[in-house]
Amino acid sequence: MTTKKLVLFAVGAMALIIGILIIAIVVNSPAEKLDAHNHDGAPNDSIHGFQHPPMPDAPAIGDVTKLEEFIHINPNDIPHLQMLADLYAEKNNPKSRELFRKLIGLNHQVADNWVALGQTFNASSEMDSIITCNMKALLADASNPKALYNLGAIAANSGDTKKALDYWHRVDLKLADAEVTQLVTNGLKILHGEKK
C-alpha cells in the first residue's frame, strides 16, 4: 500500500507542477508581454526589447502652441527645443534665433544649429552674421557639409571663385544630404565651367 500511495502522490505532484507551468506560460505569454519601458500598453515589438519611455503630454510635431506650452514646463528638453526651433525657423519666426542659441549653449548638434541660426538672418542686410554663424559651425565640425556649402555660395556670389571652390571641394558628399549634394555638384559644374 505504501508504494501505491507514493505513486499517487508523485502523479499528483507532477500534475500540480504541470498545471503551474501551464498557468505561468499563459500568464506570461510572449504575445502579451510588455517591455518595462513600454508604458503605453502596446505589445513589445522592438528588436532589442527596449523602447524609450513615452514623453507624457508631449505635443504632436506640428502643434506649435502645445509645443510652446510643453517647453515652458520643460525648458531644457532638448528634443522638443530642437523641434520648436526648427518649426519657428520654417515659419520665419524670429524666436528661432533664441532657441538655436540655447541649443548651442546646451552643446546639442552645435554645428548644425550654428548653420540653422545663420539661416535666420536676412542675406541682404545681415551677411556678416550669416558668415559668422557658418564659420562657428566649422569650428564645431570642420566637415559640416551645410556650412561648407553656404560659405562657398557666399564666396561664389561675391565673385571669389577660388574661395568658393575651396569650400565646395571640402564637402564630403557621403556626409551631405541630397539637397546639399545637388547644390555642391551644380555649383562645382558652374564654377569649373567659368574657369575654362
Q: Comparing C-alpha atoms, which of 152, 159, 145, 110 is closest to residue 131?
A: 152
Whether residue 139 is found in the same domain as residue 76: yes
Domain extent at residue 40: 1-50
Whether residue 28 lies inside any domain: the answer is yes
Whether residue 151 lies inside any domain: the answer is yes
Whether residue 153 is found in the same domain as residue 105: yes
Whether residue 139 lies inside any domain: the answer is yes
pLDDT of residue 63: 77
140 CB burial (10 A radius; 0-12, 13-18, 19+) = middle
pLDDT of residue 129: 95
Whether residue 158 is found in the same domain as residue 111: yes
Whether residue 17 lies inside any domain: the answer is yes
Whether residue 175 is found in the same domain as residue 93: yes
- End-to-end, the C-alpha distance of the chain in Å comes to 110
Whether residue 56 lies inside any domain: the answer is no
Question: 104 is written with which cell numbers?
Answer: 548651442
pLDDT in tens, the chain (196 residues): 566 666 566 656 566 666 566 665 655 544 444 333 333 344 433 333 233 333 434 455 557 888 999 999 999 999 999 999 999 999 999 999 999 999 999 999 999 999 999 999 988 899 999 999 999 999 999 999 999 999 999 999 999 999 999 999 999 999 899 999 999 999 999 988 866 5
Whether residue 76 is found in the same domain as residue 168: yes
Whether residue 149 lies inside any domain: the answer is yes
Distance CA 180, CA 87 (A): 20
Distance CA 90, CA 60 (A): 16
Whether residue 59 lies inside any domain: the answer is no
Whether residue 42 lies inside any domain: the answer is yes
Say how many C-beta atoms besides its own lie within 10 A of residue 80's C-beta.
Answer: 19
Whether residue 154 is found in the same domain as residue 85: yes
Whether residue 32 is found in the same domain as residue 83: no
**Total domain count for the chain?**
2
The 8-class DSSP code of residue 108 comes to: S
Whether residue 96 is found in the same domain as residue 33: no
